A = this chain, B = another copy of it.
Amino acid sequence: MNEAIFTTNNLWMMISTILVFSMHLGFATLEAGLVQKKNVVNILFKNTMIVCIGLLTYTLIGFNLMYPGADYAGGFFGFSGFGLSVPEGNPIDYAGGNYTYWTDFIFQGMFAATCATIVSGAVAERIKLMPFLIFSVVFVAFCYPITGFWQWGGGWLKEAGFYDFAGSTLVHAAGGFAALAAVIVLGPRRGKYTSHGIKPIPGHSMPLATIGVFLLWFGWFGFNGGSVLSANPMAVSLVFVTTSLAAAAGAVTALFTSYYLFKSYDLSMVLNGILGGLVAITAGADQMSPTDAIAIGGIAGIIIPFSVVFFDKIKIDDPVGATSVHMVCGFWGTLAVGIFGVKGGLGQLGIQFMGVATVGVFSFVAAFIIMYVLKLTTGIRVSEEEEIKGLDVCEHEMSAYADSPAEQMAGFKM
């Protein structure tokens, strides 16, 4: 391995880190756009804190739980000590000339927090701030790294032949199942499911939501492209193609499916279709041909509207569609590796199912327990009055927009 290629590989991994970082802004704006005006500060606060908490816990413990080293190969759990320490030896050798130790850590660290962010959208508009942050700390410090270790850290799933290129299972389905558990413990927003039927609670800003989805797609070039773990020209560029085509196909099929179902060009469904396509291709982005990618993303786009309606029917209230996008399409994308592409085949399909199911069950159960314990101790839900007034005023003593002429005037006297 020569120094020049090492430098280039590492550069790409660092840029991927920046791209994955920008996904946090994507989540923040998407989720802010899909909640009501009175809960915007709260969702921004949570999303801002999650990145920060995620990076710090990953420094302290997560990284060494997820990548404890070869000693724990094939296992269920490993840990190589607190904090970071640069290994001895020539940096070029740390990862066969692909990236440095620091790059490894920061790239993985940016990934870690996305998992908790997925939950934040699903529990929006009624969860208390502090319990949620505690949940995030625990989830991102322990749960995500443990299941992550199973596969990417070289644990038992890896050994079983499971394949999850960039995290349809390990990030998205894990986060999505946790979100489902959290929503079940927490209950729906007041007024959403009434005796007269479902009462939609429209998000307060479609521009913010759209910005969020574009930023997520933008960041996904690093999420998937960086998962090649080097700047290998053919591999990374193929991943760019499959990722983008799956997103594009998801949008188009979501458009037609939702038009067929609701006779309406629903922007929020198209946006979710794009995300569904992205989540679905993630497990096999390096394995698929363009046509496979279009099929996988396109099917995700069809699943999305049905899934959103289904969860509403069973009264799982998820304001941003995180369960449909991350859990359902993460599941689908993981299976798709056993159907399409180079690895497709019944055997692989079985292993894929087993992998996503075990990770899903683990994440679900872990999230359920954490949430339940918090419910019994600190409480997890704001009061009815606070929910009606909004979390911004009640938890943050602030409103997201101070913008009427009368409010502006208020600045001119005590």
Q: Give A contacts to B, CB under 8 Å.
A: 2-12, 14-15, 17-19, 21-22, 24-25, 28-29, 32, 36-38, 40-41, 44-45, 48-49, 51-53, 55-56, 59, 83-84, 91-92, 99-103, 105-106, 109, 129, 189-192, 194-197, 199, 201-208, 210-211, 213-215, 217-218, 221, 225, 231-234, 236-238, 240-241, 244-245, 247-249, 251-252, 255, 264-268, 270-271, 274, 290-291, 294, 388, 390, 395-403, 407-409, 411-414
Contact B5 A48 (CB under 8 A): no
What 17 new A-B contacts, CB under 8 Å, besides A56-B294, A267-B398?
Answer: A10-B233, A11-B11, A18-B19, A18-B221, A21-B221, A36-B411, A38-B408, A49-B252, A56-B248, A99-B237, A102-B238, A102-B241, A195-B414, A196-B414, A199-B414, A205-B207, A266-B398
A190 CB to nearest chain B CB (Å): 7
A90 CB to nearest chain B CB (Å): 10
A182 CB to nearest chain B CB (Å): 20
Chain B residues within 8 Å of A103, by CB: 233, 237, 240
Chain B residues within 8 Å of A11, by CB: 8, 11-12, 231, 233, 236
Docked pose: A291 CA to B83 CA in angstroms: 9
Docked pose: A172 CA to B403 CA in angstroms: 31
Chain B residues within 8 Å of A244, by CB: 21, 55, 106, 109
Residue of B19, B100, B206, B233 touching A40 (CB-CB under 8 A)? B206
Residue of B14, B28, B233 touching A240 (CB-CB under 8 A)? B14
Chain B residues within 8 Å of A24, by CB: 214
A273 CB to nearest chain B CB (Å): 9
A200 CB to nearest chain B CB (Å): 8
Docked pose: A236 CA to B225 CA in angstroms: 20
A9 CB to nearest chain B CB (Å): 7
